[in-house]
Structure 1
């Protein structure tokens, strides 16, 4: 009988198991830009490939990754093999244990400055071959133009409502098709993107992605940026746009980059009226489009608040906090207030609150004012 020498920590047991069983790749993934990253935040990709340390308080979550592995290995791959071997519907290639990684170039090539050449890599979930050209007619594709298509699988949180495939996954499948066409004899024109509900595995959304050569070229250009840019401030902070900054392991590095790139205070009037600067801001009516977007956002928020109140009123009228239709459900409840620090009670207890305050991270302020209009917009 084995006796524990220390108190058990079950979360640590799972973490050590994950660390010891992570998929081993046959190449250095830092030498390429992966298909799942190519349309994500380029600054994040840059920091990862240039030796930046993750934030000290960052903890990598493995739950969604392993969830996807389980669904792929124990649901999708067996189903595809069944369709191939028992139903004789098609050939299932490059999936499961037979997955391969495709490269755009050689990850071991270096430029004159000793930096790796920007290359893409991608590991598709599979290729379906040997189908009729109308195989995807049910999904709106009357003619595949060939006898094959790509297969990509994603597990999805049951709370997510998908009207279309996620942009980052759309981009990933474009890279898969592009590299498959470029590096093999297969020329797929379409990819099937499956989203499988992590709670109800029979809830499967099917999206079709058509190959777009221009989007593949964009991905190649983005890989070049990651590997050939020497100043990360030149790379867009795309996490700000798609809301993924809160999950990024390089938030401190990104903040440091932004602070260092912040222009000094302009005191010279001529500098603020630099014709080239004004032309750049006037290009494509950038500031006016921002103002229009701000107004649209305010209008949309007001409309959302109005609709929320109408829905709540209907539920109150019928005395129910839940309702469910064929394609929707709604619930209405009261949440307990959040706990906050009672500064007044601390002061009454003789504690100097100022001794326990700390300065937060610096943040940006963008103010846009229109001289001939009443309002201005701040961000």
Structure 2
């Protein structure tokens, strides 16, 4: 079972992250304005602090996803139950993705963030080019080697292998029971390691924010302030819509769920990496009453198929680029673009800038210049912070709703040990 953090420890962690955020901004501004000679050193310190934390998290992601997913499916036991839970949650993911795309599309058309926007374009952004090929995507879903998938932290491939492995356990008899117990213990150990790594989260938050602000300064924030404000405002509308839909399913308990999700959402916002939040999100969902057999099954799927913030950015960013270049897109073309984005967004990795790669893949298919992505490269870190926070919130809601649908949601920390 995931460790149930005491309210005191939870508050201390939250305050520590908030303080790290503020200190990171202040120190970054001080370095940029008062000590410009140390900007390079500040960037190196930031890269060290953030890099160490993310490496430690990524070190445990693959075995944790494998263990929680296999044990979750193994505890479900019945193959029909796996299909039912998986089918329901995938339908939820598709519905929320489409709603998120629509919110981004309508917001961009109403707010028109691209009009009057101009910025120098770098000559080479070829590193972002990664054209979307449906056949290649479908082939990529199935790993040629699970060890290779785990080495690359390819969540989608790990999910496919883990689901098949978990479904096969009941047919293995006693060997399957032994393996189920082994994966439960492995998940328990990995969560203990997570508690150790999370102690460094405030340092990673400080380094990430300080390095970015030290390099860009307040001037960049002011120059792109309008676009940031409009995107953040759109995300807040999305939060309201997602919370309202979740309320229709969960009722008044949504208030307690939101309270549990504050720290994971805040950590996701600060680090701009969904991977860094996964273990903490498991813990908070268990505090809310979601059994690990449900969260351990839903969250890994959500990390590939339910990136609500990332997918909203797809439609919002594409319309922004069209407006910035003065390209008119009829509504029919915009809705066709949404359907393509529904496919291309699936399997987005929970790492920074993954959304940019996917957006670049879609732009040429609708006559939009790939170079337009350079207009937002300078502030993408701040966009990615909000995208990641939204991804965390959406997946937290999805896990809780799945537990509700299965009648497995309790009023507090579950006794469903890993």
Which TM-score applies when normalising by structure 1? 0.23
Q: Which has the higher helix share?
A: 2
Q: Which has the higher strand share?
A: 1
Which TM-score applies when normalising by structure 2? 0.22
Q: Which has the higher contact order (CA 8 A, sep 6+)?
A: 2
Larger Rg: 1 or 2? 1
